[in-house]
């Protein structure tokens, strides 16, 4: 076992982990943070996406020991994040989820898209979302929710007219 | 779908990392782990231990020098995509980086890790070969420089000894007259390539470097195509296609008609893109 120390959702956490343990399993089993969903377990579906040092990361293809000293933020730690709050509203209104399994990874990735692109158009959103797989609603609602959230955010910053 | 039991070490310095590999040749270096972790989860590999190189300060540098840029092996795809390191390639490397996998992977995957793994469909080996890159390789007793053509031997096979580490890439800086083209054919944004074509005219009178990648083996320089383009810079259309087809066929003789057409179209488009630049 290895002892790791990291910042998890704003709080320091020190814990024993097996070196083989993925960050996803560490969050779910070790920290009871089951908002991080595990889909494919080989980096293809994006459901388990969390933030490591504020960058989207696929927690199923990171070892927990590799996050030593890093700042990790899971969907639970993004409850009051202003971009997530905005996205949550538009995901609700645009019917951007059905079963919800992919949603934590979708939200984390959508937040990153809005932080890197001002008012992204549909083509940009679809390109940047290509690594997130949804198997029930399809992508129309998800893409529309992100587009609307981006447009609202852009209006907030640039002001009307 | 979980990694097998393994040990994990994260040395603080390059010297410590080299020493760890010298003492334990069965340990495997890991950098971003964005290819290795899927392989561990799928149990297609199972080293006794992984040695994390991603945070070694010696591998995290990027320096623009006289005529070359040296990019540390642990620089991530996203850092290259975002222009956070000097670009020797007049936009080619950021373009290539942006097309690798997905952002969550690019945030952690490194250029050195991609070359050391040598996936036959990976982007960096082909791109760096087209840019006439050499890699600096450090081992317990010595260090050496290798051109990409000598370093990349085949699928998941390189000339690296088990105790050696790629520390940086030295990439010649393209001048204002240089032109490049990059084409990657994939079924889906972010997927590994089915075909790769790269073309670089260095702009100093030297012949173009045309690279054909994702052919199932390793990226290769198309020297006959390069010679033909040197003799006739306006070579295009069906004539160009015939020259490309002939040389590609010799490198991937097992390709069926569809694969062959994908390869030829991809390489031809890269050449056309560079010609039009």
> What pLDDT was estimated at residue B277?
79
Residue of chain B minimizing CA distance to A3: B8
Residue B163 inside a domain? The answer is yes
pLDDT in tens, B207-245: 999 999 999 899 999 999 999 999 998 999 999 999 999
Q: Which tokens is B239 given?
A: 């004539």
B57, with CB counted inside 10 A (0-12, 13-18, 19+), is exposed
Best residue of A16, A23, A41, A66 to probe chain B, by most B CBs closer than 10 Å = A66
Residue B1 inside a domain? The answer is no
Asked whether the predicted pLDDT for residue A39 surpasses 80, the reply is yes
Q: Chain B contacts of A66, Cβ < 8 Å? A: 8, 30, 33, 52, 54
Q: Which tokens is B144 given?
A: 């050496």
Residue at which a domain ends, from B172, B192, B210: B172
- What's the domain count of chain B? 3
* B127 and B233 in a common domain: no
Q: How many Å apart are CA A6 and CA A71, to the nearest integer?
A: 6
Q: How many Å apart are CA A47 and CA A32, to the nearest integer?
A: 17
* B67 and B164 in a common domain: yes
Closest CA to B83 of B92, B181, B169: B92
Residue B207 inside a domain? The answer is yes
Q: Tell me the ipTM for this assembly.
A: 0.96
Pick the range with the lowest mean pLDDT from A13-17, A81-85, B187-191. Answer: B187-191
- Mean pLDDT, all residues of chain A: 96
> What pLDDT was estimated at residue B190?
86
* Main-chain dihedrals φ then ψ at residue B86, nearest 5 degrees: -60, 145
> What pLDDT was estimated at residue B109?
98
* B152 and B61 in a common domain: yes
Q: Which tokens is B46 given?
A: 């199972």
Residue B201 inside a domain? The answer is yes
Q: Which tokens is A40 given?
A: 């494919």
What number is the average pLDDT over the span B246-251? 92
CB atoms within 10 A of CB A138: 10
Asked whether the predicted pLDDT for residue A159 surpasses 80, the reply is no
What number is the average pLDDT over the span A65-87? 98
- Asked if the Cβ–Cβ distance from A22 to B2 is below 8 Å, we say yes
**DSSP class of B59:** G
* B263 and B209 in a common domain: yes
Q: How many Å apart are CA B27 and CA B16, to the nearest integer?
A: 14
- Mean pLDDT, all residues of chain B: 96
B67, with CB counted inside 10 A (0-12, 13-18, 19+), is exposed
* B161 and B62 in a common domain: yes
- Asked if the Cβ–Cβ distance from A62 to B1 is below 8 Å, we say no
The A-side interface with B (CB below 8 A) comprises 2, 18-20, 22, 25, 41-44, 46, 49, 52, 55-58, 60-63, 65-66, 68, 109, 112, 127-128, 130-131
Q: What is the DSSP string of A3-66?
A: EEEEEETTEEEEEEE-TT-BHHHIIIIIS--TTS--SSSSSSS-TTEEEETTEEEEGGGSBGGG
CATH number for the domain that contains residue B16: 3.30.43.10
CATH number for the domain that contains residue B225: 3.30.390.50
Residue B2 inside a domain? The answer is no
* B144 and B115 in a common domain: yes
On whether the CB atoms of residues A134 and A96 are closer than 8 A, the answer is: no
* B148 and B86 in a common domain: yes
> What pLDDT was estimated at residue A21?
98
Q: Say whether B136 sits in a helix, a strand or coil.
A: strand
Q: Domain of residue B28: give its range.
A: 7-52
Q: Which tokens is B75 given?
A: 């620089």
Q: All domains of chain A, ordered by start, with CATH? A: 2-74 (3.10.20.30), 82-158 (1.10.150.120)
CATH number for the domain that contains residue B128: 3.30.465.10
Asked whether the predicted pLDDT for residue A161 surpasses 60, the reply is no
Q: Choose among A2, A41, A57: nearest Cβ to B8.
A: A2
What number is the average pLDDT over the span A23-45? 97
Q: Chain A contacts of B8, Cβ < 8 Å? A: 2, 19, 63, 65-66
On whether the CB atoms of residues A74 and A13 are closer than 8 A, the answer is: no
Q: How many Å apart are CA A139 and CA A156, to the nearest integer?
A: 26
- Asked if the Cβ–Cβ distance from B108 to A131 is below 8 Å, we say no
Asked whether the predicted pLDDT for residue B32 surpasses 60, the reply is yes
Q: What is the DSSP string of A54-105?
A: TEEEEGGGSBGGGGTT-EEE-GGGGTT-HHHHHHHHHHHHTT--SS-SSHHH
**DSSP class of B147:** E
* B62 and B161 in a common domain: yes
Q: Name the pTM for this structure.
A: 0.97
Asked if the C-beta of B185 comes within 8 angstroms of chain A's C-beta atoms, the answer is no
CB atoms within 10 A of CB B43: 11
pLDDT band at B19 (very low <50, low <70, confident <90, very high): very high
* B44 and B151 in a common domain: no
Q: Which tokens is B153 given?
A: 């031997």
Pick the range with the lowest mean pLDDT from A36-40, A154-158, B6-10, B53-57. Answer: A154-158
- Asked if the Cβ–Cβ distance from B5 to A18 is below 8 Å, we say yes
Asked whether the predicted pLDDT for residue B203 surpasses 80, the reply is yes
A160 to chain B nearest CA, in Å?
30
A-contacting residues in B 86-125 (Cβ below 8 Å): 101-105, 107-108
Best residue of B6, B43, B47, B103 to probe chain A, by most A CBs closer than 10 Å = B103
Q: Chain A contacts of B7, Cβ < 8 Å? A: 19
pLDDT in tens, A106-132: 999 999 999 999 999 999 999 999 999
Q: How many Å apart are CA B179 and CA B89, to the nearest integer?
A: 9
CB atoms within 10 A of CB A71: 16
* B117 and B66 in a common domain: yes
Q: Say whether A2 sits in a helix, a strand or coil.
A: strand
Q: Choose among A42, A66, A112: nearest Cβ to B42.
A: A42
pLDDT in tens, B131-168: 999 999 999 999 999 999 999 999 999 999 999 999 99
């Amino acid at each position: 076992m290895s002892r790791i120390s990291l910042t998890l959702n704003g709080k320091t956490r020190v814990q024993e982990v097996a070196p083989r343990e993925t960050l996803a399993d560490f969050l779910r089993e070790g920290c009871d943070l089951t908002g991080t969903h595990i889909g494919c377990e080989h980096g293809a579906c994006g459901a388990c996406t969390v933030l490591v040092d504020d960058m989207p990361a696929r927690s199923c293809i990171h070892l927990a020991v590799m996050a030593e000293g890093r700042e990790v933020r899971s969907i639970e730690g993004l409850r009051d994040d202003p971009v997530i709050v905005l996205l949550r509203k538009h995901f609700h209104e645009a019917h951007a989820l059905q079963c919800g399994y992919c949603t934590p990874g979708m939200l984390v990735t959508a937040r990153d898209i809005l932080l890197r692109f001002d008012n992204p158009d549909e083509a940009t959103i679809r390109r940047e979302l290509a690594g997130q797989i949804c198997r029930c609603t399809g992508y129309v609602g998800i893409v529309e929710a992100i587009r609307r959230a981006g447009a609202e955010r852009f209006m907030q910053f640039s002001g009307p007219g | 779908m979980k990694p097998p039991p393994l040990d994990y070490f994260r040395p603080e310095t390059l010297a410590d990392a080299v020493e760890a590999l010298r003492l334990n040749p069965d340990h495997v270096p890991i950098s971003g782990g964005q290819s290795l972790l899927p392989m561990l989860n799928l149990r297609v590999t199972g080293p006794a231990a992984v040695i994390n190189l991603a945070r070694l300060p010696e591998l995290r540098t990027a320096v623009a020098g006289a005529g070359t840029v040296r990019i540390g092996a642990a620089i991530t795809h996203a850092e290259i995509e975002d222009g956070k390191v000097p670009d020797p390639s007049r936009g080619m490397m950021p373009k290539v980086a942006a097309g690798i996998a997905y952002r969550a992977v690019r945030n952690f995957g490194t250029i050195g890790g991609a070359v050391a793994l040598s996936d036959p469909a990976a982007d960096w080996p082909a791109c760096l070969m087209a840019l006439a890159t050499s890699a600096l390789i450090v081992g317990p007793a010595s260090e050496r420089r290798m051109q990409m053509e000598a370093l990349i031997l085949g699928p998941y096979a390189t000339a690296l000894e088990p105790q050696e580490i790629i520390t940086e890439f030295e990439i010649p800086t393209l001048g204002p007259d240089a032109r490049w083209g990059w084409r990657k054919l994939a079924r889906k944004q972010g997927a590994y390539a089915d075909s790769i074509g790269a073309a670089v005219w260095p702009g100093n009178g030297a012949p173009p470097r045309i690279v054909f990648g994702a052919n199932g083996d390793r990226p290769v320089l198309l020297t006959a195509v390069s010679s033909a383009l040197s003799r006739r810079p306006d070579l295009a259309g069906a004539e160009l296609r015939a020259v490309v087809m002939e040389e590609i066929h010799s490198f991937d003789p097992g390709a069926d008609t569809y694969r062959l057409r994908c390869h030829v179209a991809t390489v031809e488009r890269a050449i056309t893109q560079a010609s039009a630049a």
